[in-house]
Amino acid sequence: MIHPIEYRYGSPEMRQIFSEEKKLEFQLKVEAVLAQSLADLGKIPVKAAQTISQKANIDFVKIERVKEIEAETKHDIMALAKALTEVSGDAGKYVHLTATSYDIVDTVQALQIKEAVEILLRKGKELLKNCLSVASKYQELIMVGRTHGQHAIPITLGFKFANYCDKIGDDLTRLSNDRQYIGGKFSGAVGNYAAQELYEVGEDLEQKIMQYLGIAAVDVSNQVVPRENLARIVCDVAIFAATIEQIAKEIRNLQRTEIAEISEPFGKKQVGSSTMAQKKNPINSENICGNARVIRSCVAPILENIALEHERDLTNSSCERSILPTVFILADEIISRMNSIIQDIVVHPANIAKNLELTNGTIMAEAIITRLAQKGMGRQIAHEILRKSSFEAIEKNCNLRDILLREETVLRHMSPEEIKGSLKYDFYIGRSSQKTRQIINKWKQWNQ
């Protein structure tokens, strides 16, 4: 084994979909269904179709033999057809009848993608459920909201996760809708059904094959199914990966020693560093961010594959062999890792409370500006007063409250009690809690 996706990343069920053995099984299944469909339409003997179906499995068609023939023919699907023909006896003359290579390749690819998408959806729904649980549990826990890496105004931890829930829900909805783009073909060498017409089966053969396989046929193709279909699916997987990366990046930042508000779970015997024994590194979140970059790198070539020449060229083939396993296996990996993080995420309320106080109450400056504007002060005047007062509080390391209680311009509009009340963090979380509950209800119903 050479590539990490062979042994390090992705679940066995996802890796297996793209393994050589499973791919050969899919190919043989499609060849068997082709023979069965031709027999159903009265174009080849039923007994021949039965023989082909019986032999079309890896117990008879060995992957080693297929590779031997491919080394001679320099053509993978011709090698498959020859290997199946060899073991099918007299019925072998009906193997691959009316088909072109990409009738097999694209239909097999559709079967692979169908199974892979279902795995991502299943694990994605589990991730949504876990994020909804965090949002619900911490919908009232007030924390610092940050913009540009700076303390902004208060939010709740639940609200932060409600944002993630909504994004995950949207990503899963799009990925679920992308099932419509999973389609095979059996329309021949340039997509015009010429061989099928000669055998007087037209599109009936294609429809029968797809019915057996449980997938749809694309409405029209040339030699290949439209590559726009693959591009849409890969792009949506990449967007989902970017959403998960956003969560991972936030966890990494909030786990910083000087912030320490939330962190990944850390096993009792887990080691953070081979030398710095005190460390608890956010390795799963970092892994997610790294693998999300690889997934994104597949977006450009999958888009370039759309513009094939004439009725097709071969430039899509080689990169799709790499792109599809990479995208789906790594997406499976990062979803699984994020699930393990969120299920046991560690929240540090004491540090969250401590960090709220770091800026001496100045994160409530907007609240006072808004109050003063309500009381009749010009908004820009109020902003300038709070800008100077906030900088003074930070410079002198005193609370903004103490500065404002000495500011005559402010006191002419607000009483000391109103100033103190407006500086309480729970006064200015807006609709953080209500919005969190709204998003929880929205996606909880969808996920049931």
Extents of the domains making up the chain? 4-94, 113-129+148-184+224-354, 358-428
d(CA 80, CA 326): 24
What would the pLDDT profile of 81-128 be if each residue is shown by its tens digit?
A: 999 999 999 999 999 999 999 999 999 999 999 999 999 999 999 999
* Residue 425 token pair: 């963090």
Does 151 participate in catalysis according to the annotation? Answer: no
Residue holding tokens 């082909």? Answer: 52
The confidence score (pLDDT) of residue 234 equals: 97
The confidence score (pLDDT) of residue 405 equals: 96
What would the pLDDT profile of 222-252 be if each residue is shown by its tens digit?
A: 899 999 999 999 999 999 999 999 999 999 9
Helices (H), 138-282: 157-177, 194-198, 202-213, 227-254
Across the chain, what does the average pLDDT equal? 95
Residue 42 has pLDDT above 80, yes or no: yes
Average pLDDT, stretch 47-75? Answer: 96
Residue 278 has pLDDT above 90, yes or no: no
Does 148 participate in catalysis according to the annotation? Answer: yes
The confidence score (pLDDT) of residue 448 equals: 62
* Residue 326 token pair: 């990479």
Residue 330 has pLDDT above 90, yes or no: yes
Domain 113-129+148-184+224-354 adopts which CATH fold? Fumarase C; Chain A, domain 2 (1.20.200)
Residue 303 has pLDDT above 90, yes or no: yes
At 184 the three-state DSSP class reads strand
Domain 358-428 adopts which CATH fold? Ribonucleotide Reductase Protein R1; domain 1 (1.10.40)
In this prediction, residue 274 has a pLDDT band, given cuts at 50, 70 and 90, of confident
What's the CA dihedral at 420, 423, 427, 428 to 10 degrees? 160
First to last CA, the chain: 40
Catalytic residue among 19, 75, 273, 318: 273
The confidence score (pLDDT) of residue 447 equals: 65
Enter the pTM of the model: 0.94
Average pLDDT, stretch 300-328? Answer: 93
Given the candidates 1.10.357.10, 1.10.275.10, 1.10.1060.10, 1.10.540.10, the CATH classification of the domain at 4-94 is 1.10.275.10
